[in-house]
Amino acid sequence: MSTYENLHGRRVNVVSSNPSNPGDGEVWYNSTLGQLKGQVLGTAAWSSGGNLNTGASSNAGFGIQTAAITAGGGTRSAQSEEYDGSSWTSLPTMRSPAPPAFIFGGCGTTTAGVTAGGMPGGSGQVATTDEYDGSSWTGGGNMNTARQGPRLFGTLTAAVVTGGRDDPGAAKTSIELYNGTAWTASPLSMSTSRDGHMCAGTYTAGLAAGGNPNRNQTEEYDGEGWTSGGNVPTNWSHASSGGVQTSAILAGGYNPSTTNNAAQYDGTSWSTIGNMATTISDVAGSSNTPTNELFVAFGGARTGVPGATNTEEYAGPVVETKTLTTS
């Protein structure tokens, strides 16, 4: 049995069973087990999830880790699927006539989601919007500006579309606001033009980061304008992303080559987190609120596979009871 004569500090309580609701950092000795126990921060980790039924890249994603939607993608046209935290189920195809196949954005939930913009074929851009109600897709109001590679944050009835570009043409700074029926062009443009970037957050607390061409800037949106946030660790684009303004995650993409790197934003700065298992770009993702830091990335393109079926889940560090040892 280990000894603890070098343990200093406050007196350690001796108990016959672990406390039912220990405080963060609390330490005790379990006399029944003969072990020193503590409530400590665990380790964050990526793990494999269930594969998509059909591979996809440059697909749109929205929802949370245990209830996510993937829509469209470069190898799947108008198909969509739903994730329950372990497996994907095929859903009805997106509306007819078919929407853009890929390079577009989405936000919302599995019962109230929206996608917008994209590339309709091998080139160009569209202004179309598609809405999902949990059982079927319908067309929504068109954006005022056609956009290839835009990104969204918010909900079906309170969404913000950011950036994108013309093909051929430059990336955009403009944004539009959606109320579930119609888009309104906003005068509150971003400071940085970008497409293929990462977004997270809500209608009044959003985030745009990275993107093309060669962007690492972060901007925060409060419903009344944009302010600068902490820079992404490197130029980064076409990654999965999600979360809220004060706890966002991006993973995969290009930085500047195809990567399995991941990073997390705390509302002030970005920091790297554990790498995904797969080096992959043009990948979609969705995230819970930051209370449990759960995120899921799906689809994408990797070497020799233009439309991957991969799903990877991220679980951030949580406080848990562990056995403590000394040396």
Token pair 């920091």 is found at 271
Q: Cα 85 vs. chain centroid, distance in angstroms?
A: 15
Mean per-residue pLDDT of the chain: 91
Q: Is the pLDDT of residue 45 over 50?
A: yes
Do 133 and 123 meet the contact criterion of CB atoms below 8 Å apart? no
Query: 62-71, 270-279, 316-325 — which is least confidently predicted?
Result: 316-325
- Closest CA relative to residue 192, chosen from 169, 159, 216: 216
If one compares 100 and 56, the residue with the highest pLDDT of the two is 56
Contacts of 181 (CB under 8 A, 6+ apart): 140, 141
pLDDT band of residue 10 (cuts 50, 70, 90) is low
Token pair recorded at residue 235: 């130029």
Please check the confidence at residue 237 and state whether its pLDDT lies above 50: yes
Of the candidates 260, 258, 288, 287, the one whose C-alpha atom is nearest the C-alpha of residue 274 is: 260
The pLDDT confidence band at residue 290, using thresholds 50, 70 and 90, is low
> Tokens at residue 107, please?
């936000």
Q: Is the pLDDT of residue 289 over 70?
A: no
Quick one: pLDDT band at residue 102, thresholds 50, 70, 90? confident
Is pLDDT at 108 greater than 80 in this prediction?
yes
Asked whether the beta carbons of 203 and 221 are under 8 A apart, the reply is: no
Residue 188: which of 162, 166, 217, 218 has the closest Cα? 162
Give me the pLDDT at residue 120, please: 84
The pLDDT, as a whole number, for residue 76 is 58
d(CA 59, CA 79): 10
Note the pLDDT of residue 74: 77
Higher pLDDT, 138 or 74: 138
- Under the banding of pLDDT at 50, 70 and 90, the label for residue 101 is low
| 317 pLDDT tier (thresholds 50, 70, 90) | confident
* pLDDT tens sequence across 254-269: 998 999 999 999 999 9
Average pLDDT over residues 88-95: 93
Mean pLDDT along residues 194-200:
97
- Measure the CA–CA gap between 229 and 232, rounded to whole angstroms: 9
Q: How far is CA 25 from the centre of its chain?
A: 30
3-state secondary structure (DSSP) of residue 37: strand
Domains for the chain: give ranges and CATH numbers. Answer: 13-41 (no CATH), 45-315 (2.120.10.80)
Instruction: Extract long-range pairs of 38-43: CB within 8 Å, 24+ residues apart.
Output: 38/321, 38/322, 38/324, 39/319, 39/320, 39/321, 40/319, 40/320, 40/321, 40/322, 40/324, 41/317, 41/318, 41/319, 42/317, 42/318, 42/319, 42/320, 42/322, 43/317
Given a contact cutoff of 8 angstroms between Cβ atoms, the answer to whether 310 and 300 are in contact is: yes
pLDDT at 181: 98
pLDDT at 2: 46
pLDDT exceeds cutoff 70 at 118: yes
Nearest 5°: CA angle at 73, between 97 and 68? 100
**Lateral strand order in the sheet of 137-139:** 105-109, 112-116, 129-132, 137-139
In this prediction, residue 1 carries a pLDDT of 40
Q: What pLDDT is recorded for position 293?
A: 80
Strand partners, 109: 112
